[in-house]
Structure 1
Amino acid sequence: MAPPLSRRSLLQAAALAASTPAVSLTTTGRAAATVQEATAVAAAPSAWTVQPFALEDVALRPGLFAEKRRLMLDHARGYDVNRLLQVFRANAGLPTGGAVAPGGWEGLDGEANGNLRGHYTGHFLTMLAQAYRGTKERVFADRIGTMVGALTEVRAALRRDPAVLSVPGKFGTAADQVRGSYQYVDLPADVLGGASAITLSVWVRPTHDANWTRVFDFGDDTTRYLYLAARNQAGVPRFAITTSGAGGEQGLDGTAALPLNQWSHLAVTIAGGTGALYVNGTAVARNTAMSLTPAALGALKNNWLGRSNYSADPVFAGAYEEFNVFSRALTAAEITELQSRRAADASTGRGDLASYAFDETAGGTFTDVSGRNLTATLRRTWGGPSHPGFLAAYPETQFIDLESRTTSDYTKVWAPYYTAHKILRGLLDAYGATDDDRALDLASGMCDWMHSRLSKLPESTLQRMWGIFSSGEFGGIVEAVCDLHTITGKAEHLALAQLFDLDRLIDACAANTDILDGLHANQHIPIFTGYVRLYDETGEERYLTSAKNFWDMVVPHRMYGIGGTSTQEFWKARDVIAGTISATTAETCCAYNMLKLSRTLFFHEQDPKYMDYYERALYNQVLGSKQDKPDAEKPLVTYFIGLTPGHVRDYTPKQGTTCCEGTGMESATKYQDSVYFAKADGSALYVNLYSPSTLTWAEKGVTVTQTTGFPEEQGSTLAFGGGRASFTLRLRVPSWATAGFRVTVNGRAVSGTPKPGNYFEVSRTWRAGDTVRIAMPFRTRVEKALDDPSLQTLFHGPVNLVARDAATEYLKVGLYRDAGLSGDLSHSLTPVPGEPLHFTLDGTEWAPFFEGTEDPTHAYFRRSEPKVVFGGRDSGVANPAKADGTTLLDEVWAGAPFRNKGALVARVRSTVDAWVAAGLLSRADGDKVVSTAGTASYRP
């Protein structure tokens, strides 16, 4: 009897049996054919009851979003993409054209040895694709073509054995070993010939100053060896020979560091118990007690140029020319002679044990011209060639290591599948924007490679891998693979997407069990967008249910007022907000991915809460994460946004090129992606955001031009163009719009009662010239931290207002003294003339969070209402508070809005009676409070 199939095997079998048509994932208003022979056109997934428009169908008009985007487009045009490609080309052993790798996470000297390099190139490709789709500027398409072409060359090179990279040398040509290529020269075992006297002579041009890089190293392991390091721990050349490990080394140390990017001649001689080290013809070290020679070492297994027998040592980066091994000690005069001519032209002649001129300009071997025919071979430390489809800016070793790893160590393995996702996503977006078949081929190849690797692993191994913090992080790869599957129709691609199931997380969230405390936030948010897409592809309900429940665990239970989440990248306990505020709150990537998840869930269920959240996070954290100044070299985007008092935003974090700068580039080139959605059957148009823009709805033959200064303007106007079309216009009524939401069509009021936190419908046959006007007056309100009601943040309509003050303690702020009957707190603020959305309060300036300045800000403040004051009239009574910090005034104004003054006084009386009964307020003071409320005057 055959054993029962595991759930994963059943899923794979079902995927392999399901032969879906080859279609292209497109969006409403855009049709694209695939590269398959039998082309097909598809809209968004059939499970989506609402569909987005393509970026090219929604044009941003002048306003806040267009200005922020302009700054990022300047960066997209100005940054040298060859710098991004440098790490890929280096990894493949290709010429880098002198390009300097980006700093930070994209360079070998960045955090964790650059173990995330390559991710930023994916972000950049996505930015370029979005920029091209949104503007149709040819420069963006051209840059995409450059990058895709280079990555195509890189993948091909990774599939081959390493090839010589010929560069100008000291006398003729030289062989370059690009840093990051992990290449070295492997010499035959008999290269030292068991000599009892020897000279090793070489020209090198180092390009990096890492300690312990080997010019050459001949040995068995770390016990018996002979090496020359370009730099020891003191930064100077060192020669050593030993038969008993590091403790038994007989050595020669130089006196000065070798200059970078310049040719230096190094020579070592050993004979008669004396060793000498020469640098550029000068003896810099001599040891008369050097009893060891190659003869004492015997036959050696590893004979390398550029690689160390100590595996942790870096590989030599730089060029080689003229490596000669002589079976005698050259004289000082002979070594001096080698400074000005090749050995073949000098009195020494070529080395009799080995001689490599490095004149080769192709191939992967170097000829020995000593007469001994000891041909050397160019190799990579990580082996190779890579497996078919592999594409990365580092070797496959991280992926291999992860499969046996049980603990996190990002200096060894830093989220390789996360990086793969970014590259894959960038390639898919590049294909979607330019129809470049090379990008699709690269993307498909990557997924073929991942499937061939992951499908061979036991399910228990996969579950362990995906549960490891950081190392097992895979970002939004499931979403990207599902999107690819809709293009290729390959069953293996759908099967691959399901190999990233993290069952513990899915099952807990599907059961609505909150297990987020202690989890890395951005490791998990994008997972759920992918699971929603898996629901689209498979119909398996647990994926969608888990994602919806997960969203509810974050919003509002782990959400700061600006829409951000996480502290120091992690989640804490549910409903702990004040207790988690720090300088490292609200990682920008988290906001980016929560927006993606929110809009994807909205495609399935049009709950306005998703778009309420979208507006909150977009208008506050996302806009505020971008600095308001141009820079061709940096995107100027925050990593964390600290919410501590007096925090100053850092727009070039962690040396640059972080994940958040990458998602920041993407966010700033797709601001229009959720302004409008369409009902899948074309029966309705959703207006989700009030943003100046023009929608071209090709299927309906209409255009909708939205004119607004929102959020400076408290409303918007929609003008229709094109032909006649019948559909329902669904206008989002923000949950904060409690002061009214009024709609007119062609100047006539539309009947109905718009409800905050819902959509208001207007159904008709629309004609060119129709105009819809929306008015939504703003109110000023506070939102309280869930775990500390006295810690609050201030909103004016959708806009979070921050105090600009250098103090590092929470400001104490009172707001009730002039509150209106509506509960609006704006009367306590004084508008700043000529500066919309800027106010002063007790001498402190308050400004929109979305302004990307370097001013110290206070997003949260300590609410302080020491006296009971109504309409500016002081009762003389101290404002009492409950144990949780809720004050008498808090409870009174929680009943707002009030129909009239009488309703307010009634609320005051009932609240006072309750507090007197609870022993929190004396009757005499209570009577004063009620009397003051009755005699005060109030604004609406």
Structure 2
Amino acid sequence: MYSKPISVLYNNKHSRKLLAIMLLANIGFITPVFSQSAVKPAVDDSQLPAQSAQLNGYLGMKLDAAYQNRILAQDDNRLVAPFRNRTEDHLWQTEFWGKWFTSAVQAYSYLPEKRLGTVLDKTVPLLLNTQTPDGYIGNYADKNRLEQWDIWGQKYTLLGLLAYYDLKHDMQTLKAARRMADYLINELALRKALIVQQGNYYGMAATSILKPVVMLYARTNEKKYLDFAEEIVRQWELPVGPQLITKANVDVGKRFPFPASDEWPKQGQKAYEMMSCYDGLLDLYRLTGKETYKTAVEKTWQHIQDHEINITGSGSASECWYEGKALQQFVTKHANETCVTVTWLTLSAQLLQLTGKAQYADAIERSYYNALLGATTPDGSNWGMYTPAMGIRSLGSNQCGMGLNCCVANGPRGLFTIPPLAVMSKKNGLAVNFFADGIYKIKTSDKEIATLIQQTDYPVSGKVIMQLQLPAAKEFAVSIRIPVWSAHTSLMVNGQPVTVDKAGDYVSITRKWTSGDKVELVLDMSGRIERIEGQPAYLAILRGPLVLARDLRMAGHVDIDETITPVLTKEGTVPMDVIKQGVQSNAWIAVTIPCLVGSWRLGEDAKPVNLTFCNFSSAGSTFSPDSRYRIWFPQMVGANWGG
């Protein structure tokens, strides 16, 4: 069990000192569009990020590993070098600095260590020194500017600069960001060029710069940035554009014909770039209140959820939407790109913050615990580019001669989304979205700071103890998400039961809360089956938010490709026993499940065999053939015919 007693967590000297530093600095975790706003938003968010969070247990270990071994280990000089050269004509080197830097700001906001702060303060001037007199920051040769991935790279540079401005209120950084955006606006006008025709994928790569453009308007109140943002959206709907508004009623995998392989830049189903555009559109909705923007994002999100996102919480083949949910049991080329996973998390987090709906938290939880954690190496130093449902995990290639690839740079940005979302403030109280051992500081409606302490080893077990620390007794609502998979849930406040009406929603408890009040939640961790019908049918096994896998390291005498069927209880659940953590080949969670094995076994051999499964993110964690794994198991054809 990773969790510590509540008294230790709250009274630990280092923890209190750290929390005090973070509180005084009033540091936010994600870069909300209005964190330094000069413009009053037209639409308020339903939930707002925690003031601070400190996670312990397994997730805390993962965050610490990425912090030390990936973010701090990055050579920022290597990432800045292409900005000095400016000789490129088609590659995407400049995205790496922005991705790494925004993840570094997230990490520093989570844990403001002096060492990382020094890195942040050092690298920004290095980048700003590459800005040309006309305002350009990038690596493309003069004759090739705006082509291919140039504007895409400018987007990530702007996101990095604006993240630093929000963190340090540095006006020189904001000035450089404005000069960058002004250069792009002026250059497009000078060339009489449509931004939607620059770059790849129906202009989605280039026009995803919408997000930092909206952020610039929010921070400066300069109307030219709002006008440019609206112009981007207008151009989306041109015949040459991706038509992200008008095609919101069309499944994302069917919006355009699939091009020939030699015309790949014309791909209209490119998942990462599409969601990046919708992410910016939600920011524009907050500013303008135009319901068509929000509706387009919500409809598209639902299409993705219904037709593309698979059991692990990710999707895509060759980085594109392809109606993949119905095909997830098969071997897929370049499945579940980590950049797709991160952007799906980001888009879902935007919608959770905006609407407060539990369905978005359910989607985040599944994606985070399975696809995202499954993509990172155990020490947090590296990330796999693709995370298939079966086979061997492998690290991505070195892209653009930069010593890393897009997913290595992007993975930590997804990892650090959870701390500020786990417990969020609401107009009438607070919302507990995710369950992770730790301490969370939330600003209440009257500007007081409430502390919520979670003690849990979730999802090893389903028990979560929450304790409130308040400056004074106060009436407000504590809304607790009941995951959609928890069929039987127990909830008590100070030992008194609270009715849980249904899963997949929040239970809101309004009362006068006092310091020391305790909430005890017990979620249903019964094993369950997900099936895909066909000839043959396939099944997978889940426990809580976790997908379970068979890994070659713990297969025993039954090969992982053998046909297996779990023996269900009379209630239809999958019985399983949890093995002590760390025993089975470094798996976080391992369980044994009684299964019928094989199509040829008769008599005594037909009795159930106890097989070992582990959580999907631990399966394949050596990134080598010794940890080959699978999560979908084909069922015998003719199994119900008798005989």
CA contact (8 A) 2:54 2:440 kept: no
CA contact (8 A) 1:737 1:756 kept: yes
When residues 572 and 441 of structure 1 are mapped into structure 2, their CA distance, relative to the original with a 3 A threshold, is same
Q: Counterpart of 2:6?
A: none
Deviations 1:333-382 (A, max 9, x none): xxxxxxxxxxxxxxxxxxxxxxxxxxxxxxxxxxxxxxxxxxxxxxxxxx
SS in 1 for 2:528: strand
Q: Counterpart of 1:66?
A: 60
When residues 53 and 591 of structure 1 are mapped into structure 2, their CA distance, relative to the original with a 3 A threshold, is same
Aligned letter for 1:134? Y
Q: Counterpart of 2:316?
A: 566
CA contact (8 A) 2:478 2:510 kept: yes
Deviations 1:816-872 (A, max 9, x none): 43x123321124x67467646202454753211222443534343224367xxxxxx
What is the rounded CA distance, in whole Å, between the counterparts of 1:684 and 1:80 in structure 2? 43
1:879 paired residue among 602, 620, 639: 639
2:217 aligned with 1:485:
yes
Q: Counterpart of 1:372?
A: none
SS in 1 for 2:306: coil
Q: Which runs of no fewer than 5 residues in structure 2 stay unpaired?
A: 1-22, 29-34, 259-268, 594-608
Q: Which runs of no fewer than 5 residues in structure 1 stay unpaired?
A: 1-26, 33-38, 93-107, 160-387, 403-412, 867-877, 881-920, 926-940
1:153 paired residue among 129, 134, 139: 129
1:422 paired residue among 156, 160, 164: 156
SS in 2 for 1:530: helix
Deviations 1:309-331 (A, max 9, x none): xxxxxxxxxxxxxxxxxxxxxxx
Q: Counterpart of 2:436?
A: 691
Shift of 1:135: 1.0
Alignment of 1:121-136 (within 5 A): 121-136=97-112
What is the rounded CA distance, in whole Å, between the counterparts of 1:830 and 1:128 in structure 2? 36
- Aligned residue pairs: how many? 563
When residues 474 and 754 of structure 1 are mapped into structure 2, their CA distance, relative to the original with a 3 A threshold, is farther
Aligned letter for 1:525? M
When residues 864 and 667 of structure 1 are mapped into structure 2, their CA distance, relative to the original with a 3 A threshold, is same
CA contact (8 A) 1:455 1:496 kept: no
When residues 151 and 653 of structure 1 are mapped into structure 2, their CA distance, relative to the original with a 3 A threshold, is closer
1:775 paired residue among 511, 522, 530: 522
What is the rounded CA distance, in whole Å, between the counterparts of 2:542 and 2:94 in structure 1? 39
CA contact (8 A) 1:802 1:857 kept: no
1:586 paired residue among 322, 326, 336: 336
Aligned letter for 1:847? C
Aligned letter for 1:676? V
SS in 2 for 1:755: coil
Could you say what the CA RMSD is over the residues aligned between the two structures, in angstroms?
3.1
Q: Counterpart of 2:388?
A: 642
CA contact (8 A) 1:741 1:754 kept: no
What is the rounded CA distance, in whole Å, between the counterparts of 2:36 and 2:614 in structure 1? 51
Higher relative contact order (CA 8 A, sep 6+): 2
Shift of 1:513: 5.8
CA contact (8 A) 1:791 1:860 kept: no
Q: Counterpart of 2:19?
A: none
What is the rounded CA distance, in whole Å, between the counterparts of 1:40 and 1:840 in structure 2? 51
What is the rounded CA distance, in whole Å, between the counterparts of 2:526 and 2:107 in structure 1? 35
CA contact (8 A) 1:431 1:437 kept: yes
Q: Counterpart of 1:839?
A: 591
Q: Counterpart of 1:345?
A: none
What is the rounded CA distance, in whole Å, between the counterparts of 1:778 and 1:498 in structure 2? 47
Q: Counterpart of 1:673?
A: 420
Q: Counterpart of 2:31?
A: none
Deviations 1:235-276 (A, max 9, x none): xxxxxxxxxxxxxxxxxxxxxxxxxxxxxxxxxxxxxxxxxx
When residues 762 and 853 of structure 1 are mapped into structure 2, their CA distance, relative to the original with a 3 A threshold, is farther
Aligned letter for 1:425? L
Shift of 1:526: 1.1
2:59 aligned with 1:83:
no
SS in 2 for 1:686: strand
CA contact (8 A) 1:683 1:727 kept: yes
SS in 1 for 2:139: coil
Deviations 1:479-530 (A, max 9, x none): 2221221111111111222233222422333445653464111121111111
Alignment of 1:490-529 (within 5 A): 490-501=222-233, 502-503=236-237, 504-512=242-250, 514=252, 515-516=254-255, 518=258, 519-529=269-279
CA contact (8 A) 1:811 1:861 kept: no
2:188 paired residue among 428, 436, 454: 454
What is the rounded CA distance, in whole Å, between the counterparts of 1:40 and 1:879 in structure 2? 62
1:821 paired residue among 570, 577, 582: 570
Alignment of 1:342-361 (within 5 A): none
2:91 aligned with 1:115:
yes
CA contact (8 A) 2:310 2:324 kept: no
Q: Counterpart of 1:716?
A: 464
2:614 aligned with 1:860:
no
CA contact (8 A) 1:567 1:580 kept: no
Shift of 1:140: 1.8
What is the rounded CA distance, in whole Å, between the counterparts of 2:592 and 2:324 in structure 1? 34
SS in 1 for 2:476: strand
Q: Counterpart of 1:445?
A: 179
Q: Counterpart of 1:376?
A: none
CA contact (8 A) 1:475 1:524 kept: no
2:135 paired residue among 383, 389, 403: 389
What is the rounded CA distance, in whole Å, between the counterparts of 1:788 and 1:89 in structure 2? 57
Q: Counterpart of 2:290?
A: 540
Shift of 1:458: 5.5
Aligned letter for 1:450? L
Q: Counterpart of 1:728?
A: 477
Shift of 1:798: 0.6
The structure with the largest alpha-carbon Rg is 1
CA contact (8 A) 2:328 2:389 kept: no
2:28 aligned with 1:52:
no
Shift of 1:549: 0.9
Aligned letter for 1:640? Y
Comparing 128-137 with 75-84, greater Cα deviation is found at: 75-84
When residues 765 and 651 of structure 1 are mapped into structure 2, their CA distance, relative to the original with a 3 A threshold, is farther
When residues 472 and 128 of structure 1 are mapped into structure 2, their CA distance, relative to the original with a 3 A threshold, is same
SS in 1 for 2:350: helix
What is the rounded CA distance, in whole Å, between the counterparts of 2:408 and 2:521 in structure 1? 35
2:449 paired residue among 701, 707, 715: 701
1:606 paired residue among 346, 356, 359: 356
CA contact (8 A) 1:625 1:637 kept: yes
CA contact (8 A) 1:59 1:134 kept: yes
CA contact (8 A) 1:728 1:762 kept: yes
Q: Counterpart of 1:849?
A: 616
Shift of 1:671: 3.0
Q: Percent identity?
A: 20
CA contact (8 A) 1:417 1:477 kept: yes
Q: Counterpart of 1:351?
A: none
Deviations 1:152-201 (A, max 9, x none): 2111xx32xxxxxxxxxxxxxxxxxxxxxxxxxxxxxxxxxxxxxxxxxx
What is the rounded CA distance, in whole Å, between the counterparts of 1:789 and 1:540 in structure 2? 47
Normalising by structure 2, report the TM-score.
0.80
When residues 642 and 823 of structure 1 are mapped into structure 2, their CA distance, relative to the original with a 3 A threshold, is same
Alignment of 1:23-42 (within 5 A): 30=26
Shift of 1:701: 2.7
CA contact (8 A) 1:700 1:725 kept: no
